[in-house]
Amino acid sequence: MAYIGPAPASSIIATSDIEDGAVTSAKLGGNIVTPGTLDVNGQEFILDANANTSLTADTDDQVDIKVGGTDVVTLTNSSFVLKGTTPTLTIGDAGTEDTKIVFDGNAQDFHIGLDDTADDLVIGLGSTLGTTTHMAFDETGAIIKPLQPAFSVHPTSQQSNLALDTDVTVVWGTEVFDQNADFASNTFTAPVTGKYLLTYMIGLVSIDSASNYYRTRLITSNRNYDDIFDPDFGQDAPYWWVKGSHVVDMDASDTAYIQVRQASGTQQTDIEPDSRFTGCLLA
């Protein structure tokens, strides 16, 4: 037998069908206390005076919340549905506080939330806001991807007297930036499969006009990209810049690096420190 009480007499407006261990329906104006099971058996639990806001489970294993006479929420063991003509879910109360939604995965957790200090909407790895941010949207609309693969490198010093008839790897000793740490030992290594924009600008000094050709080669795991020029300018050229820009397909762990070849002639050509090699993940 369920026990209803203690409560003031005015608290219980009406009750009916009180059975052992269950109350099948009840309309309350105050407090209800029960040490046992309160079983309303799918009946509507009315919450306001005009009976248009209620809690019910009229469908088995589904809870329905009605506000102002309209079903606004349904809840099952696997879904939460917010209904209405313009459904809105607000997290927070305009105070200075971080808010987030955590996606609790098997191997990895992810979160999306508001970094209220920076005024950024962030998407990141883990359950802690801001620890590993993958993408951030600031209040101006700018999108920042701090872990997106991107690099820019140049030689630390001049690479002198390139060997003849040899594919010479360009030495990139200085990193301007290496976002996600994918560049090392003159080589970019793709962290994920995708399409990458790779560009280079190679400054050659003391071009030998007697050489058959000069070739700059971007070497990737899937294919090579060549730029070739004939140095027969009538005389040796003091400077010549070779530029290339390629969108390349790379699988995870594929590599990319640059070689220069001087075919015959006199060994005298150098690579300028102002040369550049850059790249980023496009898609």
Q: Per-residue pLDDT tens for 145-156? A: 999 999 999 999
CA–CA separation, 75 vs 57, rounded Å? 9
Structural domain ending residue among the three candidates 144, 179, 202: 144
Is 83 inside a domain boundary? no
Least confident interval from 28-37, 169-178, 226-235:
28-37
* DSSP class of 76: -
User: Do residues 139 and 159 share a domain?
Assistant: no
The pLDDT of 90-108, averaged and rounded, is 93
Structural domain ending residue among the three candidates 22, 44, 76: 76
Q: Of 244, 257, 251, which Cα lies nearest the Cα of 281? A: 251
Structural domain ending residue among the three candidates 89, 112, 144: 144
User: Do residues 193 and 240 share a domain?
Assistant: yes
CA–CA separation, 146 vs 149, rounded Å? 9
User: Do residues 64 and 135 share a domain?
Assistant: no
**Domain count along the chain:** 3
Phi and psi of 10, rounded to 5°?
-75, -10
Is 132 inside a domain boundary? yes
Buried/exposed code over 115-132 (b: 16+ C-beta within 10 A; e: otherwise): beeeebebebeeeebbee
Is 253 inside a domain boundary? yes
User: Do residues 168 and 258 share a domain?
Assistant: yes
pLDDT at 71 over 90: no
Is 64 inside a domain boundary? yes
Residues 6+ positions from 32 with CB-CB distance below 8 Å: 4, 7, 11, 12, 26, 38
Phi and psi of 124, rounded to 5°?
-155, 175
Query: Would you state the structure tokens that stand for residue 11, as one six-digit string?
Result: 């608290």
CATH number, domain containing residue 204: 2.60.120.40
Domain that holds residue 56: 9-76
The pLDDT of 263-278, averaged and rounded, is 97
